[in-house]
Amino acid sequence: MKLKKNIPLIDQHDKYGFWGDKFGGSFIPETLKKPVEDLTDKFKKLRKNKKFIRKRDFYFKNYIGSPTSFIKLENLSKHLGGAQIWAKVVSEANGGAHKIYNATVHALICKAMGKKYIVGDTGAGYAGKMLSMAAKKFGLKCKIFMGAKDIRRQKPNCDAMKKNGAEIVPVYSGSQTLVDAVSECMRYWVSNCDNTHMCVGSTVGPNIFVKICGWSTAQISRELKTQLKKEFKKIPKKIKLINCVGGGSSAYGFWSEFIDYDKKQIELIGVEAGGPKKSKLHAAPLSRNAKIGILHGAASYVCQNNEGQIQETESISAGLDYPGVSPIHCFLKDSKRARYTYATDEAALNAYKMVTKFEKLNPSLEPSHAFAEAIKIAPKLSRDTILIVNSCGDAKKDRDILRERLGKY
Amino acid sequence: MNNSLIAQSFQNAKKENRPALLTYTVAGDNTKKKSLEILKSISKYADICELGFPHNTPIADGGQIQTSAYRAIKNGIKINDVFSVVRKFKKFRKNKPIILMGYYNMIYQYDENKFISKCKKSKVDGIIVVDLPYPENKIFASKCKKNKINFIQLISPTTSKSRLKKIVKDSHDMIYYISMLSTTGGKLKVSPKKIIQEYQKIKNQNKSKNVVIGFGITEKTIRSLRKADGLVVGSAICKEITRSIKKRQNTVINVTNIVKKLKNKIQ
């Protein structure tokens, strides 16, 4: 399985939408064929449309607040010794996480398609919060599907969604988390696709949704590339880009400009949710060798049983608590361009404690998984190695969990 | 596949000047044994029986069928059990067509070829795969045909005209028309007249194809659509199973009564 150079990864699929012949595709009910085709055609045109690109860039800059800063974590680096640890503080983006990029682009597409309603799924609540923000900004009616368990554990984001005028639809089926929210959202779209646009909150789902989301978050790595050149005069010789992976939208966005580089120069490390130390359950299909399966309209590595029933997952981080993963990450894994590992709940909590102790940074539980890996490998690496962590979310939404687990927030 | 049991069932219904009645139940709902009993009992009135192999992440099913599917999975139904239900049913009523219906991941994990050969051995007559649309289903559909199993194509109100032509051309003995934009079991939100108009567009492509209408069909609505070659009732049956279990009543008797009533409405 080989990657092509000079072609964005999101476009390296065949005519049926498969990356590397087997990941992705569009496993959708007949009813969704037409709306998915319409969306595919529209997106193809829009991404070539200069006016649309100008509009996107305008909102990225003036609404989202791009570029987000790129900072050295001096104290943490000194404390650990070894590699330099840097962070791309994507949580500075309007709303507090990278999900705003995808949400903004979807709202713009929805407008361009003349639809007035937009629906989306959410796990940690960020995708939902951002979609509700973008909907409000662009005058769209918004519905957010969210697992009942997630509604309980991510209350601050739910409050934000309601404040933005979105309707939160609680999902009680299955494990009452992100997987069920996505299913319910897709079912809603099946019934309302004539006047409603659907936003999938990550680089998952039928092919076109992977592409739109990846195209949106890629802004992160465009900024980083400029920032690296400014900081170091040229792209340094030894870089490791560390990112948490749930669906994989922030990781793809963080990496997309650097995929063509040799992995000896720029290593890509994805960190999945390993779940509680003592539990058999996790949300790490890539690093714990799940089999390929079809979930939410795409083929990817999926946590499932022998029969093909999707398995329950467990993670302290609602944003990573998903049994599948983006087909483009499966492609990056099998082509050996990226390396995937996992961090347990406990490791993520410890990383959160350490980062907040040494730095003025408040990463949510999702990027805390990435920090856990950085903290683990930094001491073993040389001082000229640049470890960059995508701090893609802010911990405000996790205050209840952190208070419970660490006794303070 | 001119002489398939499915084609014959439509001919028989036509002779009686009525649409064929297709039922949908979930294998293993609420137990393996019960679902077989239900199937045996309702097959007295139904012309074709669809049997769902349940999946826990269904993206096109409404609440009633989801409930049935989750219940069956919780009670331990496995794919091999689904085949054994079919085998036992076919021993009891060998001329009644059985159509398996479900999601592609279950087939993918079982292995496509193994799944089809197991279908053949168990005497399954047709297969519907909800999330394997045309043209992605071409290879699978032709494998089915080679094994004399009907692959049933779906058409929906959103299907474009050019696409419709291709799907009809590639279809086998039966085509499933989805009445409206909805998951299964939704309230019929389109007028029966409009549904029949759309149905007619499919028939006009090829009169010899048997086209059935499904989604939103209940005791109340079934009569208004009786011009169709066949009508599918699923959620209304699953709902009755849920109700009967809750009330601690006999599911077999109650469900059979519903199917009997449905049949009377179209006679």
Please indicate whether, in this complex, the C-beta atoms of B62 and A26 are within 8 angstroms of each other: no
- Residue A343: count other Cβ atoms within 10 Å of its Cβ: 29
For chain B, say whether A191 makes contact (Cβ under 8 Å).
yes
Eight-state DSSP code of residue A64: I
Give percent of chain A with pLDDT exceeding 90: 97
Q: What is the ipTM of this complex?
A: 0.96
For chain A, say whether B182 makes contact (Cβ under 8 Å).
yes
The residue annotated as part of the active site, out of B29, B37, B47, B50, is B50
For chain B, say whether A190 makes contact (Cβ under 8 Å).
yes
Query: Which pLDDT belongs to residue A222?
Result: 98
CATH class of the region A66-96+219-406? alpha beta
For chain A, say whether B194 makes contact (Cβ under 8 Å).
no
Whether pLDDT at A120 is above 70: yes
Query: Which pLDDT belongs to residue B219?
Result: 95
Judged on CB neighbours under 10 Å (0-12, 13-18, 19+), A311 is buried
For chain A, say whether B80 makes contact (Cβ under 8 Å).
no
Whether pLDDT at A187 is above 80: yes
Q: How many CB pairs under 8 A join A and B?
A: 112
The predicted model gives A86-100 an average pLDDT of 97
Out of A28, A194, A310, closest to residue B57 by CB: A310
Could you report the per-residue pLDDT of B114-143, keeping only the tens digit for each? 999 999 999 999 999 999 999 999 999 999
Could you report the per-residue pLDDT of A153-163, keeping only the tens digit for each? 899 999 999 99
Instruction: State how far the Cα of B46 lies from the Cα of B82, in Å rounded to an integer.
Output: 19
Query: Which pLDDT belongs to residue A307?
Result: 97
Out of B55, B106, B186, closest to residue A191 by CB: B186
Sorted by where each starts, the structural domains of chain B and their CATH numbers stand as 5-153+225-266 (3.20.20.70)
Instruction: State how far the Cα of A291 lies from the Cα of A303, in Å rounded to an integer.
Output: 7
Q: Which of residues 148-177 of B touch A (CB under 8 A)?
A: 154-160, 163
Please indicate whether, in this complex, the C-beta atoms of B186 and A307 are within 8 angstroms of each other: no
Whether A25-60+98-214 and A66-96+219-406 share one fold: the answer is: yes
- Residue identified by tokens 């109340």 is B220
For residue B131, indicate whether it is catalytic.
Answer: no
Domain A25-60+98-214: assigned CATH number? 3.40.50.1100
The predicted model gives A258-286 an average pLDDT of 97
For chain B, say whether A32 makes contact (Cβ under 8 Å).
yes
Which residue ranges make up each domain of chain A?
25-60+98-214, 66-96+219-406
Give percent of chain A with pLDDT exceeding 70: 100
Whether pLDDT at A408 is above 80: no
Query: Which pLDDT belongs to residue B110?
Result: 98
Query: Which pLDDT belongs to residue B2?
Result: 62
For residue B219, indicate whether it is catalytic.
Answer: no
Reduced to 3 states (helix: H, G, I; strand: E, B; else coil), residue A24 is strand
Whether pLDDT at A409 is above 90: no
Instruction: State how far the Cα of B96 lies from the Cα of B126, in Å rounded to an integer.
Output: 12
* Residues of chain B contacting residue A16, judged by C-beta atoms under 8 Å apart: 136
Q: Which of A28, A190, A310 is the best substitution to test chain B (most B C-beta atoms within 10 A)?
A: A190
Amino acid letter at A244? Answer: C
Nearest chain A residue (CA) to B216 = A191
pLDDT confidence bin for A149, thresholds 50/70/90: very high
Out of A183, A291, A299, closest to residue B57 by CB: A183
Yes or no: say if A55 and A108 are a contact pair by the CB < 8 Å rule.
yes
The predicted model gives A387-397 an average pLDDT of 96
Query: Which pLDDT belongs to residue B3?
Result: 86
Could you report the per-residue pLDDT of B223-250, keeping only the tens digit for each? 999 999 999 999 999 999 999 999 999 9
* Residues of chain B contacting residue A186, judged by C-beta atoms under 8 Å apart: 59
pLDDT confidence bin for A173, thresholds 50/70/90: confident
Q: Tens place of pLDDT for every residue, chain B, 267 residues?
A: 768 999 999 999 999 999 999 999 999 999 999 999 999 999 999 999 999 999 999 999 999 999 999 999 999 999 999 999 999 999 999 999 999 999 999 999 999 999 999 999 999 999 999 999 999 999 999 999 999 999 999 999 999 999 999 999 999 999 999 999 999 999 999 999 999 999 999 999 999 999 999 999 999 999 999 999 999 999 999 999 999 999 999 999 999 999 999 999 999
* Residues of chain B contacting residue A307, judged by C-beta atoms under 8 Å apart: 78-79, 106, 109-110
Q: DSSP states of chain B as a string?
A: -TT-HHHHHHHHHHHTTSPEEEEEEETTSS-HHHHHHHHHHHTTT-SEEEEE---SS-SS--HHHHHHHHHHHHTT--HHHHHHHHHHHHHH-TTS-EEEEE-HHHHHHH-HHHHHHHHHHHT--EEEETT--TTTTHHHHHHHHHTT-EEPEEE-TT--HHHHHHHHHH--SEEEEE-SSS-TT----S-HHHHHHHHHHHHHH-TTSEEEEESS--TTTGGGGTTSSEEEE-HHHHHHHHHHHHTT--HHHHHHHHHHHHHHHH-
Query: Which pLDDT belongs to residue A1?
Result: 86
The predicted model gives A298-304 an average pLDDT of 98
The predicted model gives A363-382 an average pLDDT of 98
